[in-house]
């Protein structure tokens, strides 16, 4: 549906609103890009990966048991030789 204008003031008002909305969207895109850059920085990727692995180990008894068993087997084989 087309909007009908009766004066140039109405047109200018709507144009001003559109400019402000465009600037808001532009700033949101810039913020999202900065956040993406920060999240994909090598130190943050390593930190997030280690944090995820740590929480997985803390919350899973089965994984802890498997890990401890594997480490013990490794040391037993190493000392038998």
Question: What's the pLDDT tens digit per position in 36-69?
Answer: 988 888 887 777 777 666 665 666 667 667 777 8
The per-residue pLDDT for 64 is 65
Decide if 57 contacts 64 (C-beta within 8 A).
yes
The DSSP code sequence of 5-72 is: -SSHHHHHHHHHHHHHHHHHHHHHHHHHHHHHHHHTSHHHHHHHHHHHHHHHHHH-HHHHHHHHHHHH
> Is 57:63 a contact under the CB 8 Å cutoff?
yes
Least confident of 32-36, 45-49, 72-76: 45-49
The rounded mean pLDDT for the chain is 83
Q: What does the pLDDT read at residue 54?
A: 64
Q: Determine contact, residues 34/41, Cβ cutoff 8 Å.
A: no
């Amino acid at each position: 549906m087309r909007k009908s204008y009766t004066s140039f003031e109405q047109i200018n008002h709507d144009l001003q609103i559109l400019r402000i909305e465009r600037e808001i969207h532009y700033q949101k895109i810039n913020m999202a890009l900065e956040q993406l850059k920060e999240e994909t920085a090598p130190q943050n990727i390593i930190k997030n990966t280690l944090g995820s692995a740590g929480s997985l180990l803390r919350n899973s008894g089965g994984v802890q048991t498997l890990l401890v068993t594997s480490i013990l087997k490794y040391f037993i084989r190493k000392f038998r030789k």
